[in-house]
């Protein structure tokens, strides 16, 4: 992480990665989506309704992964003053919010035929909704404070405090009685999903990861360019004002 603390080094290495991550994201998403929606068999209990899992589950995972990334970057910013940490955390927040929203919507669509309702206030759904509000609060805090350094410090504290909700989301189905199904992939022993369903699901997880990486690099590079332009404009403004004052 600290090898890329220099923005110039980050820009040099991230530039070639952007098209490759975009290409992999498109390839994996196309393969996983077609496999999951067309060729994967229906579930013996849920039937074809299980196909929404290929959209919902990776989105839920990436919502938690993006917040974990955001909290880690915030820690690096708060403790070690990593120059790019605030940029990375801020760039990840809207992406995580998008994954979170997608998981909430698809979860509601999945819940209606399975549970007979779009929403229940059980531990998993409620804690995931709380994660959604943490994302909104983080983004709003950045927008509310004009000074980027003060905004970064305040947002970093909120991100680190909010991280306590991530393990609650993950283990809520184990700690409390919920309607949500327990873990099927990350559990002791082998996954409880047959390989014809598991394989396209893992491909979609990889696709979502590449989508996040691709958009994160784009947003970070845009932010670095924007800050360079602002510094250049400030320098030019100061340079034109000095002769007038002389």
What pTM was computed for the model?
0.88
Q: What does residue 13 show for φ and ψ, rounded to 5 degrees? A: -85, -30
Query: Number of H helices and number of E strands within the chain?
Result: 7, 0
- Determine how many CB atoms are found less than 10 A away from the CB of residue 173: 17
* Mean pLDDT value across residues 95-109: 96
Residue 87 pLDDT greater than 80, yes or no:
yes
Q: How many CB atoms lie within 10 A of CB 121?
A: 7
Which letter, b or e, does each residue of 18-50 get, where b requires 16 or more Cβ atoms within 10 Å of its Cβ?
eeebbebbeebbeebbebbeeebeeeeeeeeeb
Confidence of residue 242 (pLDDT cuts 50, 70, 90): very low
- Give the residue with greater pLDDT, 188 vs 71: 71
Cβ-proximal residues to 141 (8 Å cutoff; 6+ apart), any chain: 151, 154, 155, 158
pLDDT, mean over the chain? 87
Cα–Cα distance, 106 to 129 (Å, whole number)? 13
Task: Choose from 40-54, 98-112, 228-242 the range with maximum mean pLDDT.
Answer: 98-112
What is the predicted pLDDT for the residue at 241? 47
Where are the alpha helices (H) located in 145-194, listed in sequence order?
A: 148-162, 165-175
């Amino acid at each position: 992480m600290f090898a890329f603390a220099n923005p110039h080094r980050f820009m040099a290495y991230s530039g070639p990665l952007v098209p490759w991550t975009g290409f992999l994201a498109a390839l994996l998403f196309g393969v996983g989506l077609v496999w999951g929606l067309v060729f994967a068999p229906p579930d013996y209990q849920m039937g074809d309704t299980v196909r929404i899992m290929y959209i919902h589950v990776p989105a839920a995972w990436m919502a938690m992964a993006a917040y974990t990334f955001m909290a880690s970057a915030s820690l690096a910013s708060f403790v070690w003053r990593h120059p790019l940490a605030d940029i990375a955390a801020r760039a990840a927040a809207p992406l995580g919010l998008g994954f979170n929203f997608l998981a909430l919507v698809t979860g509601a669509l999945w819940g209606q035929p399975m549970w007979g309702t779009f929403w229940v206030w059980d531990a998993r759904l409620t804690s995931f909704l709380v994660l959604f509000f943490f994302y909104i609060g983080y983004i709003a805090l950045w927008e509310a404070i004009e000074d980027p350094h003060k905004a970064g410090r305040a947002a970093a504290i909120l991100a680190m405090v909010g991280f306590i909700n991530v393990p609650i989301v993950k283990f809520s189905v184990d700690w409390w009685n919920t309607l949500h199904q327990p873990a099927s992939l990350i559990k002791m022993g082998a996954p409880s999903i047959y390989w014809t369903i598991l394989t396209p699901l893992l491909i979609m997880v990889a696709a979502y990861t590449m989508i996040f990486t691709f958009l994160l690099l784009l947003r970070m590079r845009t932010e670095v360019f924007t800050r360079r332009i602002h510094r250049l404009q400030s320098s030019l403004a100061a340079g034109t004002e000095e002769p007038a004052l002389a």
